[in-house]
């Protein structure tokens, strides 16, 4: 069972979007997938409810309640955990003993980089991460690769203590699909396929941990 925590100390970075799209990817690949929603805004849970009519439904679990781990079905193959908004590294301890990886979305802006740097520095001090028991990967989210601002931000992100495992371009498609309980992987148009390719490196990184 592969367990992945999607977490960030900065709100509005696309954390739930990454969690739902990852869950959809695994469900579409035939994996029994659970999405544990630890965010009180419950965006991921609502997405699961909208997706429930599909053959590739994802099981939602309220991870804001104690003992949520015991509600994960024994036959679950993938568990994606959408952390609470603005989580601190010290709060990762609640999950750290029972996950394989942490995916941290980072927006390419000065404000977001400044807010994320201390969080990543604290993450790097956690024992299981220091020992290599839990992998940490960064996702540069909502990028505009054609701008100098994004390129400069990507250089700065490259200086953080964890590798950049994906660069996801900015697009309205994620918001539109989220409202339908869908994902970037549910469609096959040429434009959508180009955005699916943005995820390839992240998917390969996770498969190595499985």
Q: Which residue ranges form the domains of the chain, and what is each CATH number? A: 2-209 (3.40.50.300)
Query: What is the structure's pLDDT at 176?
Result: 87
User: Tokens 């690949």 — which residue?
Assistant: 29
- Residue 90 backbone class (left: φ over 0; alpha: ψ -120 to 50; beta: rest): alpha
d(CA 70, CA 55): 25
**Token pair recorded at residue 100:** 């394989």
Neighbours of 113 (CB within 10 A): 18
CA torsion sign for 126, 97, 106, 63 is negative
pLDDT higher than 90, residue 29:
yes
Query: What is the structure's pLDDT at 67?
Result: 87
pLDDT in tens, 64-95: 988 888 899 999 999 999 998 888 888 888 88
pTM of the predicted protein model: 0.92
pLDDT in tens, 130-179: 998 999 999 998 888 778 877 888 788 878 889 999 999 888 888 888 88
């Amino acid at each position: 069972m592969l367990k992945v925590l999607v977490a960030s100390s900065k709100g509005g970075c696309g954390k739930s979007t990454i969690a739902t799209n990852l869950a959809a990817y695994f469900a579409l690949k035939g994996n029994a997938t659970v999405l544990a929603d630890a965010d009180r805004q419950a965006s991921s849970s609502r997405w699961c409810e909208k997706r429930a009519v599909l053959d590739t439904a994802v099981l939602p679990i309220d991870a804001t309640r104690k003992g949520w781990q015991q509600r994960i079905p024994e036959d679950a193959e993938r568990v994606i955990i959408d952390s609470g908004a603005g989580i601190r590294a010290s709060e990762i301890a609640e999950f750290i003993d029972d996950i394989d990886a942490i995916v941290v979305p980072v927006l390419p802006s000065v404000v977001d980089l400044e807010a994320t740097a201390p969080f990543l520095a604290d993450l790097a001090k956690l024992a299981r991460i220091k020992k290599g028991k839990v992998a940490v990967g960064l996702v540069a989210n909502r990028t505009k690769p054609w701008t100098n601002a994004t390129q400069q931000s990507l250089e700065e992100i490259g200086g953080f203590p964890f590798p950049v495992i994906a660069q996801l371009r900015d697009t309205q498609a994620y918001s539109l699909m989220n409202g339908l309980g869908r994902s970037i992987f549910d469609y096959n148009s040429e434009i959508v396929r180009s955005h699916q390719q943005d995820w390839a490196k992240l998917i390969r990184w996770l498969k190595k941990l499985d």
